[in-house]
Structure formats: C-alpha cells, structure tokens
Structure 1
Amino acid sequence: MQKTLFKLTMGLGIMVLAAQQVHARNCAPRDEVIKRLIETYGETRQGMGIARQGAVMEVYASDQSGSWTVTVTLPDGMTCLVASGQAYENVAETLPPNV
C-alpha cells in the first residue's frame, strides 16, 4: 500500500510540475475551463485530490462519449489541462487481501 501511495503522490507531483511548465499554453481561469469541458465534451468531475504546492488535481469524464480530461488548478486560480483521452471507465477495485 505504501508503494502505491508513493507512486500516486509522485504522479500527482509530476502533473503539478508539468502544469506549471505549460501554464501559458494550456491554462485558463477555472470557470472557463470547466464550462468548456461541460458544454463541449459533456464531461463532469469524477474525482479530485490535493497535489503538491496547494494545487488541486481533478478528473473529468463523460459517461456518454467516454472522453476524459485531467486538470490541475494552481493556487493562482488558473486551471491547466494535463492529459485527455477516450474510453474512460469508472472502476472501484478492492485491495488484495494481503496488501
């Protein structure tokens, strides 16, 4: 479990760093980004978490089309697109008995 948690934490940290690097190209005020995800792609928030340096990571997805988007909102209020794709599937896996 600690290895998985470490990997998730590192992954979120990398996403925050990536978002900060592309801040000028793939970022806009949060309300504009969310409005576009809803209106253009039919995506709604499916999950979220706190990342490094006070950033918020969110996963948006559409049950209809299967499209998905990962965003990071930085403390300055700008939301950056980090990744997107198709074939989103919501899963709730349980931990193996010996983990």
Structure 2
Amino acid sequence: MTSIAEPGVVIGAVADLELGESRAYVVGGKQIAVFRMTDGSLRATGAVCPHRAGPLADGQFDAAKIVCPLHQYAFSFADGACTSDGIGSVSVYRAEERDGDIVVWL
C-alpha cells in the first residue's frame, strides 16, 4: 500500500472529466481508469477487465461499482473484487482532486 506521505501523480485537469464521466489514462506504465462521481469525488481502478480485457472506463458506474461494457461483470470500487462472479479483481487506486488536478497514487 502506498504511504500517504508519498506524492501522488498528477494525470490531468479535473475540468477535463465531467461529472458522471470516466476516462482511461496511462500512469507509470499502467492503464488506470478514473471515474468522476456525480458528487465530484474521484475513483480509480485498473482500466482492463480481467475477464476479456474490456475497457472499464467505457462501462457504466455508480458510487459502489463499475460494470464492464463487454460482459457486464461488476467490480467494487472499495476493493476491486468482482461482485457478479468470481473471475478475479481489478486494482483500486487512491484518487482525489488537488488544486484542479486529478491526482492518483499507484
């Protein structure tokens, strides 16, 4: 787990990600999907579904989970576990807004 004292990585402007929208970024050689909730908070997971490599940033999401657009497998934002079947999990990353930027911790 990343220490809170370690600096996060700025990946873009939060203004480029509308409320209720998501986007994939490459951070430190990893594909990360960032989700901006309708309340403005941010969530981040690995960007690739472990089932068939579906693009999670293109999936539907709510405050608790992201649903892969290919086969509707759902993954919890809390721990990355698959909530609809035991196919594996995705990485979950700390993400927040700082001074108008999206910052993630790998």
Q: So what's the TM-score if we normalise by structure 1?
A: 0.33
Q: So what's the TM-score if we normalise by structure 2?
A: 0.32
Which entry has the higher C-alpha Rg, 1 or 2?
Answer: 1
Higher strand share: 2
